[in-house]
Amino acid sequence: MIDIQIFNSFSDVLKYLEAKRDNLLKALEVKVGSNDVINAVDGSFGELSETYRDEIEDIISDINYMLKKIRTNNDYTGIIMLVEENGSPNKIYIIPGDLI
């Protein structure tokens, strides 16, 4: 699943990624009991795949990897497209100019 986030500057990208990582870390702290899961679509009781923690950990490590790469000394402003694949930041496209 591919998703795209649009930013105006690298510092916004950093903020977004850091916030997402913090949210995920918080989510990992939650202990999910077997009776607690509700399907978001209709409110019925559901099940949660046991691998969800691994997947969250994968995303966190991918975010950390991307954060390590974004250490720019001049903060570029323009259209910055962050491509997320299955929730993990994957690629950044820089499009000069701005959307009015």
Partner 1 sequence: MMQYTMLLPFIAIFTALFMIGITRLPLVFTGLVMAAIAIILGVASFIYPPAMPYLGLLIGVPVGYGFSFLMDKLGINNPLKLQSKQTEINKRRRATRRRRKKDRKSIYVSEAMGHVTDARIFENFDEFIQSINMAPALNTVLEYIRNISIINNELAQQQVLVYEDGKKQHEFIQLVDADSIDEVSDVIQRAIRDRVMVNNKINSILSNRETIREIIGGRFMVIYVDGAPDKIIPLYYNQE
Binding site for partner 1 (CB under 8 A): 1-6, 20, 23-24, 26-27, 29-32, 36-43, 46, 48-49, 51-52, 55-56, 59, 61-62, 65, 68-74, 76, 78-79, 81, 83-88, 90-97, 99
For 83, the token pair is: 């491509």
18 versus 23: smaller Cβ distance to partner 1: 23
In angstroms, rounded to a whole number, what is the distance separating the alpha carbons of residues 95 and 77?
A: 9
The answer to whether 9 and 75 are in contact (CB under 8 A) is yes
Question: Would you give the distance in Å from CA 24 to the centre of its chain?
Answer: 8
Minimum gap (Å) between residue 72 Cβ and partner 1: 5
